[in-house]
Structure 1
Amino acid sequence: MTAMRLLHTSDWHVGRVFHGRDLLREQEEVLGGLADLVSDERVDAVVVSGDLFDRAVPNAEAVAVCSRVLERLRAAGARVVVTPGNHDSAARIGMFSGFAEAGGLHLRTRIGSLAEPVLFADDHGPVAVYGIPFLEPETARHRLEVPQARGHGGVLTEAMRRVRADLAGRPGARSVVLAHAFVTGGQPCESERTIAVGGVQDVPGAVFDGVDYVALGHLHGAQRIAEHLRYSGSPLAYSFSEARHTKSVWLVELDAGGLAGVERRELPVPRALATLTGALDDLLLDPEHDAVADHFLSVVLTDPVRPLDALRRLQGRFPHAVHVEWRPEGGRPGELRFAERVRDRGDEEIACCFIEDVRGDGPAERELALLREAFEAAAREGVG
């Protein structure tokens, strides 16, 4: 008999910018490729556990990419269930949800409807998929009529109480819950926006007891909290802290008895991430670094004096270098008096170093031209 097969994904963050670089092409390549997995693995449904977009009001290009990806998944034969995360606007994603549902796209965005499942069926009977949208505690506790609830744990406890109550009226139904939360034991990274309230964001895993599988979103590294409780992670790396992540999705199978198995399916990497450390001239000349010439690069410079225009010079060899830090060997000269630090440096060099220190990269050509005009005007006025 045929079992139900689900593909657990989350944190697409369509429209994300990586250190100033547009990632839409890479996102469409990876996410669109999920349609091949749907076909090859005979997937019945794809679930997206929050953060479909990177911002509440995505631009037109991000919406177009997301639309094309969802259309490919439907064309491959999968129905799709989406819940909003903390980056999304639930109201915008839920717009036209009734029309979308008729086409196999189920947008579960309303707090008041979180205990109303999307119902699928296979040879073993019904599968109830509950989508819990991201619950901002202060708002959700009133919408859920539990004003005494505190923090994420409080509102998710009530949400799951409602889910279990509905499930109790569906004897024999297997169950899947989508939730966007920080579950105790999960390992965060640098690219996630905090959802802490009063310094507390953790939710105990036991909150989700009583269902066959919980498809979690929010943390960007794929991880297993328990056999039935997992994060799929983001499909692409969105910070250099994720350079060692293996991006993937979970293939979940439900048979007559509930959760039959979970398998990992790795995703392609459109552009790898790497970090280089050393003196600028050495990095520019050492042939050993040819292997990362096409990677997104974060570079730590160890020169005793901050090199001028370092990012532009690095990009001459490494076109995808996007981040530079200066950490001189022996430590930064913070103890030097200001006059000693700027001795023998011209106004332009001092200004450029200041901009690079604050922003992480030097001024662009247009900004450099404006600085020169300002210095020239000051010289004419006898300032300085």
Structure 2
Amino acid sequence: MKILHTSDWHVGKVLKGQSRAEEHKAVLAGVIDIARAEQPDLVIVAGDLYDTAAPTSEATRLVTRALTALRRTGADVVAIGGNHDNGPALDALRPWAEAAGITLRGGVRENPDEHVIDGTTADGERWQLAALPFLSQRYAIRALEMYELTAAEANQTYADHLGRVLARLTEGFTEPDRVHLVTAHVTVTGAAAGGGERDAHTVLGYAVPATVFPANAHYVALGHLHRAQRVEGPCPVRYSGSPLAVDFGEQENVPSVTLVDVSATTAARIREVPVTAASALRTVRGTLAQLAEIEAPDAWLRVFVREQPRAGLREEIQELLPRALEIRIDPEMLATPGSGARIAQRSGRSPRELFADYLDSRGHSDEGVRELFDELFEEVEH
């Protein structure tokens, strides 16, 4: 059977105030085109369909239309919730999804059998998929209690909890003539972050070893980390990565989807198919004169300018580079207060004097900034 594995769409993402809606339409159209060309038997969307737990109607419409279009290619479609998704809200869409022939699992349900999905391809290949949405550490123990684990087991680490949940979901991986699959939205120890993930949900208590996955799984389709990569484990374990770079930390990633050919008796053959519809993200550095000579690329830009801070500098750069979304002073240009720098005393000194001291300590001599501060202070005071 053939599987198309994708994840971390983050529909609704706004980058430094810039909507990515048109890019998301193009990216998802590209994913659908790949599905039409490759004719997979199963499409797995491994979480973070949305960028926020309260998606707009436009974002919801785009996601539901994309899932419907993927289903119309003839593939079975299974999508799970990620840490950015609202699990209960996704589950509220299940009646629509079931009517459309789509399997949607937003959050962990009381009945573990709901997370075990069986199917058969058009050629008669049988498969079973254990589908585990993102499980917050706060709810891990509650989920285990749902599955009637002991109090001692509930006192183990998050990794142990997740391993036991997966063991329960995959205990039926025993038939030799069936393809056994897992999808989960989770951080695996040793995998490389893409650069734009939410740190609180990718480190420390949320990381699990690859050994939580059963050795008899034919393929594990992961979401959560935005860089496409294979993870060392007891079976084939892989992140598909995001099909577009969602933040400047991901500018070196190659957006793609993963295609997997596998059978009950043959090992998974894996390949990446690039998705190139979104604008690239790039970082440029230089003085104003150097930036003026850059041939503006068709990309969203992060600019580190090598000039002393002054009023109007951002506007000058945006005139030179209209697609600059983030503009910062290069850290090398920021003066470090010396050992003899005067430390401002707050008592008895006006805000204007304190702000002037701050500017002096940073080597900032632009009178325009002081005048702007005076205007703002005057407005606030009166």
User: Is TM more than 0.5 here?
Assistant: yes
Cα 1:12–1:197 change in 2 (3 A) is: closer
2:125 alignment partner in structure 1: 125
Shift in alpha-carbon separation, 1:374–1:254, aligned structure 2, 3 A: same
Match of 1:109 among 103, 106, 110: 106
Q: 1:19 aligns with which of 16, 19, 23?
A: 16
Is 1:238 aligned to residue 258 of structure 2? no
Give 5+ residue unaligned stretches, structure 1: 355-370
CA RMSD of aligned residues (A): 2.6
CA distance in structure 1 between the aligned counterparts of 2:364 and 2:169, rounded to whole angstroms = 68
Task: Say whether the 8 Å CA contact 2:81–2:107 is kept in structure 1.
Answer: no
Q: Which moved more, 1:10-19 or 1:60-69?
A: 60-69
- SS of the residue 1:139 aligns to: helix
Of 2, 8, 31, the residue aligned with 1:34 is: 31
CA contact (8 A) 1:16 1:23 kept: yes
Matched residue of 1:13: which SS?
coil
The offset of 1:372, in angstroms, is 4.3
1:192-207, aligned counterparts within 5 Å? 192-196=197-201, 199-207=204-212
Q: CA deviation at 1:161?
A: 1.2
Partner of 2:196: 191
- Decide whether aligned partners of structure 1 residues 221 and 114 sit closer, same or farther in structure 2, where only a CA change above 3 A counts: farther
Q: Which runs of 5+ in 2 are unaligned?
A: 343-355
Instruction: Supply the AA of the counterpart residue of 1:138.
Output: R
* Matched-pair contact (CA < 8 Å) for 1:124–1:255: no
Taking the aligned partners of 1:54 and 1:157, their CA distance within structure 2 comes to 27
The structural deviation recorded for 1:99 is: 4.0
Shift of 1:214: 0.4
So what's the TM-score if we normalise by structure 1?
0.83
Select 1:59's aligned residue among 56, 78, 96.
56
Is the 8 Å Cα contact of residues 89 and 106 (structure 2) preserved in structure 1? no
Kept in 1, the 8 Å contact 2:127–2:181? The answer is yes
Change over 3 Å in CA distance of 1:327–1:351 after alignment to 2: farther
Cα distance in 2 between the residues matched to 1:201 and 1:234: 20
Shift of 1:197: 9.2
8 Å contact 1:135–1:152 — kept in the other structure?
no
The whole-number CA distance in structure 1 between the counterparts of 2:190 and 2:182 is 19
In the alignment, structure 1 residue 315 sits paired with structure 2 residue 318: yes
2 CA distance for matches of 1:328 and 1:100? 50
Letter in 1 for 2:117: V
SS of equivalent to 1:33:
helix
Deviation at 1:69, TM superposition (A): 1.5
Q: Per the alignment, do residues 75 and 311 of structure 1 end up closer, same or farther by CA in structure 2, a change over 3 Å counting?
A: farther
Letter in 2 for 1:211: A
**Match of 1:44, as an amino acid?**
D
The one-letter code sitting in structure 1 at the alignment partner of 2:35 is V
Cα deviation digits, residues 176-221 of structure 1 (max 9, x gap): 1111111011011331113459933321101102311100111011
Once the two structures are superposed, what CA deviation does each residue of 1:133-169 show, in whole Å capped at 9, x if it has no partner? 111123122222245244431221111111222333x
Write the mapping of 1:147-226 to structure 2, written as runs, cut at 5 A. Answer: 147=151, 148-168=154-174, 170=175, 172-196=177-201, 199-209=204-214, 210-226=216-232
Q: For residues 283-337 of structure 1, give each alpha carbon's deviation from its aligned partner in whole angstroms, at most 9, with x where no partner exists.
A: 12x1xx1152x3211111122x213223322221211101111126465243454
**Number of aligned positions between the proteins:** 352
Q: Which residue of 2 aligns with 1:302?
A: 306
Do the aligned partners of residues 113 and 82 (structure 1) sit closer, same or farther apart at CA in structure 2, a change above 3 Å counting?
farther
Matched, 1:83 2:80: yes
Distance 1:332 1:79, change over 3 A: farther
1-structure distance, mates of 2:275, 2:311:
39
Cα gap change, 1:343 to 1:254, in 2 (>3 Å):
closer
Q: CA deviation at 1:277?
A: 1.0
Aligned to 1:141: 141
